[in-house]
Amino acid sequence: MDTLAGGYLLSVRENSYLEANRNLLRIDQRLSIHDLNLSADTDAIKAFSRKQAKACQTVAESNHYSSEAYDWGRDLALRYNLTPPSPKDYQGDTYPCIKRLCNDRWWRRKVIRLQRRTIESIARDLGLVCAQRSAYSSAVTRETRRRQKASSAEYLASTMLENDDGDRFSLQELHDRSVSNPAVRRAELMTRIKGFEMVAQHLGHCGEFYTLTAPSRMHARLKRGGKNPRYDGTTPDQAHQYLTALFRCIRSKLHREGLPAYGLRVVEPNHDGTPHWHLLLFMDPAHCEAVRRIFSSYALRSDPDEKGARKHRFTAKAIDPKRGSAAGYVAKYIAKNIDGEYDGTDITGQDTKSTARAIDAWASTFNIRQFQFIGGPSVTIWRELRRLANSESESASPLLQKAIEAADAAEWAAFVMVMGGPIMRRVLRPIQSLYDAKEVVDLDTGEILHEAVTGYGDPKPPRLIGLVAEASRVITRTKTWTLIPRGTPPQSCGQVDTGARRRPALDLCQ
């Protein structure tokens, strides 16, 4: 209520009481979708979810889980502005889709996600997300994210994993050793981008730093905090989708023109929550001018004549090795968007650790992937090689041994070169991931193998178990892990009912 009151008073100051009252009416309409109230508490959302799941279950049983049952459930989800499960994601089978629609947890997750995005979008439209009030994300969203992470930490600390050998670890211990830990994640990102820079130096390539921004109509607030008169109501996730589609077109054009580039993309919000992209790309120096021209051309395809478009929509800066490394250039962006370590204050004057928490809440709310590497070999293979380096198994493959040594020494540049360089197609690389795809049906009896299907009836995704190099297989994951609550004696873990849906063995710990 404090947030809504603040937004109301701000609207009064910027417009009038009449417009502020009209704005309240529009907000009420956005928060009310038929009998779903997006401002409701968790208990009310759980009750709503159970009601819709039960309705879908009744229709599904009466229609014998036919396509008519799916059509009814799909229309019900669309009625509440929720994205229904699509058969094309399950090999054209509607049964897993119906099972999801009949599950109250599926409804609850979807509604809570819609609730968080709607409330944050409303706060942004009210002017509560800007440098002058709450930069990057609203106070409500930050508090929601804080509670969510606290709940996750409590679960991680109170839940254990035990393997075949009786070794037991808490999920928190395993979290802290993985890239889920912000410090580990930041270190791995810096290792990879530094490795790319070393590869570029070895190949005689140069570095370019680009920034792509969305058109003015997608920004809710002006730099000084005032309302943007051209704002068309675009949400941050919609603006990110626009930039994603734009970059997809640019990459296709670069491919057609034979202009390969590799590097890192970072997505971060403007002060009002509108995303923009930073790209650190390495390429042949002879290609720089053509690549810049292509980026600029595509960036200006939408609203090219608006004021400041040519100046701000796309900017490019050449990385001068004499003035510093490319890795050092992006270090502040990586730190700012993860945990704010080794930095002082950002452009809004906030402490970067506080900024990182605000950006984390923003990215979580709108499901935005903050970092993505362009080109280079799979980091999954890199991690599996590091696992092999800590095992007692020996590889007969000289190629695999070289890759293991590079990964164990955290030499991403050496790993890239062993894997064929920075721009080779992934399917052509000499080392591939090995996955175990279980048969869904017993070929002898015709029975469904329940361990091979999810609780929704669709096949479980293939599980990573090792690597393939020079036609030889190396198994890196040999242990089975069981999820158990803290305090359970090791010898009785097989008889424990955790009350949770059965999950596949957790790859993180193997």
Cα 505 to Cα 108, 308, 463, distances in angstroms: 25, 53, 9
**3-class secondary-structure state, position 468:** strand
The reply to whether 333 belongs to the active site is yes
Catalytic site residue from 333, 342, 435, 456: 333
CA distances from 425 to 264, 281, 313, 317, 430 (A): 17, 17, 31, 28, 11
Contact 268, 276 (CB under 8 A): yes
Per annotation, catalytic residue among 210, 298, 329, 456: 329
| Whole-number Cα distances in Å, 1 to 5, 118, 124, 215, 401 | 6, 15, 15, 32, 61
Q: Is-contact 436 463, C-beta < 8 A?
A: yes
3-state secondary structure of 504: coil
Neighbours of 307 (CB within 10 A): 9
**Residue 290 has which token pair?**
């053509």
Write the DSSP string, 59-125.
HHHHTTT-HHHHHHHHHHHHHTT-----GGGGTT-SHHHHHHHT-HHHHHHHHHHHHHHHHHHHHHH
Beta bridge partners of 117: none
The reply to whether 329 belongs to the active site is yes
Beta strand 463-469 with 431-436 is antiparallel
d(C-alpha 147, C-alpha 419), whole Å: 42
Sequence letter at residue 8: Y
Q: Which two tokens stand for residue 92?
A: 């054209």
Just list the catalytic residues.
329, 333
